[in-house]
Structure 1
Amino acid sequence: MAHLQPPTYVLHASSSTRNLAAGIALTVALVLAQAWLPERSIDLAAPGAVSNLYLIAPGDVPGEPSPVQWVDYERRHWVCRNPANSPSQACGITLVLSGDDPARGRNLNGFDTLELDLAYRGNAAHLRVALRNFDPRFSKLTDGNSSRMQSINLRGRDVTKPVTLELAELTVPEWWITQFDLPREFNRPSVENVTSLSIDLTDSLAGQNHELELRHLTLKGPWIARDTLYLGLLCAWLLAAGTVVGRQWRALRRSHLRQQREIDALTARTRLLRVEQDKLRRLATIDELTGVLNRRGLESALEDFEAESAGVALVLLDIDHFKHINDRWGHAVGDEVLRRMAAIVSANLRTTDVIGRWGGEEFLVACQGRHADDAVRLAEKLRDAVQHGNFDTKGRFGITASFGVALAPPGASTHRAFKRADAALYRAKAAGRNRVELDTAHDAVTTL
């Protein structure tokens, strides 16, 4: 009997398992790396980190020194000494992040925190950290205030030790929104094109002294944002799953097409033989040409039926004009007809039915516990399947068969029933072939 090939996807099961394990390991490694690897950082207080650095001071008063002066430029250390009668106060430092083009700053979207270490001596209630974002839709180089301002106010006690600010904490101040009166979408914070970063005092400074030293100012952020990593992993797994499903679907389709092509090569199904029968037993009871039971196997099966005393229906069939097939087309074609006959009949039987080649072009079907009408309907079904079966791929001829049906009641001899089925088959041949005849002998029964 021909055997179907296993689906292709089964052959690749081990490689698929390895790929799955590798994917899981890579996913875990990327998640752990995102969480544990050092973040990327930019120390804005380091020499050369910004293109320019200047103090925020009020307008100069003729004949008087500026109230905001460097103590040590290299250490970013400055003081503010504001006279009591100063009309305006300003005290701070600005780091310029743009280069030769003042409209092109740095994109800080990849950073999420700002670490600030500021030594402050004074009594100001608040210190402000602010970013300026240049947006060409409304910002103008001639108006420094037109760059979107985003800031956060820190209390004096907040900077007594290093502090970490989330960039998401920065907001656009109400005074800037009111002053420029832009549509709502322009009033949202953005760190896409930051041109400057400032640290200054926001309270009234008249008559006060303040000393500040910027020790550390570092932007930090992951090399790959968590959301971006998770989205990328999700897309990768979806793509991999789609690839696997597509590959398995193609393998199943190829397997299905292959099985369709191989179905004509299947010769027979054996019903009563156990899977554990050894090779010698198979050779003794299986017809080598057709793959169904031979005469010895049929006789053994009939003996088993008799021992069970359940009654049996015998359907004996003979291929019409088989000698003509051999004479005209050759014995190789005749052998193929016998194989296909066995396959077609087997495909139309129950798992409890038995089929065998009795000899030559004769086949015998034994069905346990059938009624006479059931046996005739089975024979008609087989006759129709044979008449419409594909016996010659070149379409040169068709095949029909004649059938004789006989019943053996419980405890009766199947040998005598076979003789009556043979006589009924002879009548079918004499009546014109391609027909079914039921035995009507006096010892036949119509109900089992």
Structure 2
Amino acid sequence: MAFAVWCLAIPLAKAQHVSVRSFGEAEGLNEEAVWHLAQEPEGFLVVGTESGLFVFDGRIFFRLGTEQGLPLHIGVRALITTPDGRIAMADDHRVLLSRTAADAVHPIPTLQFDDVTPAGRSRDQTFHGLLWWHGSLLAQLGGRIVPVGSARMSPLPDVLRSIGNVSGMAAHDDTLWIGTTDGRLCRMTSTTADCQQTADPVSHGPPDDWAAVAIGKDGTVYARSAHHFASRPAGATTFRIESITDDRVGDGFQNHVRLTIMPDGTVVTEALGRLLVRSGSSWRILNLPPECAGGVASALLGGRDGELWVSLPGNGLAEVANFGGIENFAAADGLDVGEIWQIVRQDHGLLLIGSSRGVVRMGVTGDPLFRLAPDPASYMVQSSIDGQIWASHGINQVVNLSPSGQIQHSFQVSGLHQLLLDRDKVLWLLTAHGLDHIDTAASEPRTVQPDPHLRTPLLAGLRDSSGRLWLAGPDRLLLRWPDGRVETLLDHWPSADFLPATLVEIGSDHVWIAGSGGLMSIVRTAPNHASASPVAGPRILGRTFYSLVRDNAGRIWAGTDHGVAAFDGQRWINVSMNEGLVWNETNEFAIFIDTDETVWVGTSRGLSHFTRPELLFRHRDLQAVVSSIQIGAHAFRGRAVPFSYDPVMIRFTALDLPRAHNLHFRYRLAGVDQDWIETSSNFARYPSLPPGHHDFSVVAFDPMTGDQSAPAHILLRMRMPWWRWWPVEALYGLLTGLALLTVLHLRGRMLKRQRRILQQTVEQRTLELEAARAALEHEARTDSVTGLLNRRAIQQHLSEHLSGVNFASGRGHHRVANNEPSLPCAVALLDIDHFKRINDVHGHLVGDQILREMGERLGAFLAPEEFCGRYGGEEFLFISGLAGQPGMQRLIALIQSLTQVPFGHGGAPIHITLSVGMATVQPSDNWETVISRADKALYDAKAAGRDRIVEAA
């Protein structure tokens, strides 16, 4: 058995400070005691706590529970992801394994877990670790290693069965490394075992409990106990043991030992709220923020994108921002200098820092600070080639310091804004009254020399590569040549609210200038003339600029009131506390490009050092994923779901956890959204989902860098409601057809009935109209007293008769028989004798009664071709188709029928006589002539004594 080689202790004296982003209850991590972390292949962070299992997508935590087949409350004691992406976890008494990995078809909430606990376990044995090796899931149970799950190792190597007191384990390719509680580190293969005892042979202390074991990509094995760190490079035969000398670390710390390896091979472990970082063979210490310090790191994980995840009991989960790329120094790390204003590097390698508490000097990382000039505030500091230090004391004094910090010279100024030291050892002073300078190489006594041509307030300046001074005042931009000539390039700023604070040279005759009010580009186009234009499209979080610096790679670094913005010629990035900056508010002149091209940034609460600035600009492909779909209270599992009106919640993310907080999204649900919808949140909600197939697409993009992912798609399928199934729709069609036929049939019947009713109505109306017309016609042709034809009608009949009309009815109804008149015929006028006397004696009513009865008797007597009508008063016109003797006889018979019977009126009968004038119609007659002759004959009858018939000649 080989023993390890013991080395010196790890120094834990000086430390750096890191910024973290914390996640807890606000993001859905209800249980803040996080004990285990893992990352599945898609990039989701799997979090095991004292009461359950969570999955983090960069924005929120999903709790996995009974819907996924897990117990309602489960204390996670071990957690890993298998090579095929499944999640394996264990509590004290069982092991659970997801059936599938999470992917586009199986979002996280759709995972299902099976209990794969091995049989025969004693109830007093608990699980403490899980590992995947040789295609099998291994569990650490009661100090032994046992296979679990359906894909069990067969047979289990006897050598593996023989090892007890197992505390930690890790696998690499075909090799399994095991740490034990009795101080052994064992290398196992399927057939061999090789254990090394690590107990210190000198101190004879208790054996180490190697509770944490990890293996790097290069095969180096690392192990951690409460007080020691062990490492064995690939191919080596012994371990190198290093002591962790921290009095705060006690034996009780053993149960919380954690160890992780970053993607670049950096090893991270912890010691009571501090991170121990090993790169190569060197160590550095990172202090966590005060809210995280003092506890035990219960979980550590190096993420696939280089981020470091740290969990401390009671403080939730934290991400160390820009781990390995930014180191910070603050008061907790010994840099207790207040606000940092300016940083310069001396030629012999020391860093000078001008701060609100004076000038301090800092050597390499970990060296103590040396305060050169304590108080008053040194806002500006410069170092000359010969090692002289020039600094401001407040804004009204400039001092020259010796390397030890002694004040050698002091100069009074007024309203100092900036110090510029050129290669000719001239110190330029930009003040509220103009430009002054001090010749630092002059012999004694040195004095402040004002420039007589520049007596105007100056706020910011720049010495370009040609030795010219670009000088910015509140309302103008000046250019001073080395020979003293001065050009006024701008006599006002393009924006009235612009106030310059800093300049940087971009190229020949080209500078950028920034301050309160934005960032603009200035190009000198001719003597005493320059063009100014805003710098196009910078996506910068800060609104006020304090400093501009250009590095040798051509990158522009800008200090703002919200962190640092940087431009590499193609895109802008922002570095704030979320990205690892010690504090968001930077100060004037507080960005410094070091000789090794690293970047120093001074802030109001400490100093940040960008040790690998190129990492800030690295392009990482974004991958948008749909993390969960919830329809009502149920997770969408990729299959078609029954129709419902439940709301739909779709959550999405991009698995770039370090910058998840910066990402925005565009999404669209085909058939629902008319256009892409942009949002800074990571979910979309729809009141309901229409039936059918709908493609949901989402794109992630970083508005700061312009990076954009390819669209992620998922097909949402909702079944048609039963009333839209094809049999039901066919039935609908059939019923609709039947209903339509029924309606058409009923409508036809109704139309026929309506047509019949209408026809009957029309016929009835026609009959009524005909009757009304006949009645009107009858009324128009009939005398109202006698019922005979009236004078107009009888004259018309006579005229028609004389025109050749053969009459069919004595009551006025006729038909045309032929076109020849029926000749001969006779016309007679009958007059009641002394009718006036009757009216006078008996009254007009009696007279009317006699006339009425006369009409009845005449109507009863008339033959079919005879007509009679009341011609006027008591006169009647009789038209007969007979003439001559027959006509006379017919007339005599008529007179007899009228006069033989007296007329009754309720009193004594009244006998009447008639005077008649008769005229035979001649061919030359018309109705006027024949009437005239009959009327003359009537007159003759009356003149002859009445009661007689007189025939006209």
TM normalised by structure 1 equals: 0.35
The answer to which structure has the higher helix fraction is: 1
Higher relative contact order (CA 8 A, sep 6+): 1
The answer to which structure has the higher strand fraction is: 2
Structure number with larger C-alpha Rg: 2
TM normalised by structure 2 equals: 0.17
